[in-house]
Amino acid sequence: MSPITSLCVYCGSSRGVNPDFIPLARELGRELATRNIRLVYGGGRVGLMGACADGVMAHGGRVFGVIPQHLQDREVGHSGISELKVVDNMHTRKRMMFDHSDAFCVLPGGLGTLEEFFEVVTWRQLGMHDKPIIVLNAGGYWDNLVGMIDRIVDDGFAQPSVRQYFSVVNSIGRLFDLLAAPAETQEPDFPDRI
């Protein structure tokens, strides 16, 4: 696997109620800057999205944001990042984020975060890419997602191999361990969950 130079982070545009999630997003941003990995994200200045971007920028890193015009019109676009692309719609946004990323990380978030996660996993299942996808299961936030995927497999709506398309980790350190490991030596973290 080539070195990761850009990481797409899917996460909430809200702060959520867990006080640990904003510092987690900022810490991820700091680590990206320290490791000279560009953040690719949805371009927002609020919630976990904004916190992650702020963490990168505060430590001299690079941020590439993509936001649709209707959200930019609500003044939620982040004007303090390296580059912000304003696009026509959500589909263009997601495709541009995908095209500019070497790997994907999923932090806590809402329905949009879930939709983005399932899209890149489905694309991987269909053979459209082989980029790493890593779910950061902070505080067990994604436990029910993992359980739901287990149920989908157990009930025969997906093959057990779907578990190999992404990993689940519980720390930023483990996230970067997986990103640094050659693909052929990686063991999926999915069965361990956390």
> So what's the pLDDT on residue 75?
78
Joined together, the tokens standing for residue 117 give 């996660």
Q: Could you tell me the pLDDT band of residue 191, with boundaries at 50, 70 and 90?
A: very low
Strand pairing partners for 65?
A: 41, 84
pTM check: above 0.85:
yes
Q: Could you tell me the pLDDT band of residue 181, with boundaries at 50, 70 and 90?
A: confident
- To the nearest whole number, what is the mean pLDDT of the chain? 93
Q: Could you tell me the pLDDT band of residue 1, with boundaries at 50, 70 and 90?
A: low
Residue 185 burial class via C-beta count within 10 angstroms: exposed 0-12, middle 13-18, buried 19 and up: exposed
Please give the radius of gyration of the chain, using alpha carbons only, rounded to the nearest integer.
Answer: 16
Q: Are strands 83-87 and 6-10 parallel, antiparallel or unpaired?
A: unpaired
Q: What is the mean pLDDT of residues 74-81?
A: 91
The order of strands in the sheet holding 63-68 is 83-87, 63-68, 38-41, 6-10, 103-106, 133-136, 167-169
In the predicted structure, residue 194 carries a pLDDT above the cut 50 = no
Q: What is the mean pLDDT of residues 103-120?
A: 97
In the predicted structure, residue 64 carries a pLDDT above the cut 70 = yes
> Architecture of domain 6-183 in CATH?
3-Layer(aba) Sandwich (3.40)
In the predicted structure, residue 31 carries a pLDDT above the cut 60 = yes
Q: What is the mean pLDDT of residues 24-32?
A: 98
Q: Could you tell me the pLDDT band of residue 182, with boundaries at 50, 70 and 90?
A: low
> So what's the pLDDT on residue 183?
58
Cα 57 off chain centre by: 18
Cβ-contact 81, 54 below 8 angstroms: no
Alpha-carbon dihedral of residues 149, 151, 155, 158, nearest 10 degrees? Answer: 10
Residue 90 burial class via C-beta count within 10 angstroms: exposed 0-12, middle 13-18, buried 19 and up: middle
Instruction: Determine what percent of the chain is predicted with pLDDT higher than 90.
Output: 89
Q: Which of 90, 47, 58, 52 is nearest to 71 (CA)?
A: 90
Q: Could you tell me the pLDDT band of residue 3, with boundaries at 50, 70 and 90?
A: confident
Q: Which of 88, 106, 97, 37 is nearest to 66 (CA)?
A: 97
Q: How many residues are listed for the chain in this entry?
A: 194
Sorted by sequence, the CB contacts under 8 Å of residue 36 that are 6+ apart come out as: 5, 61
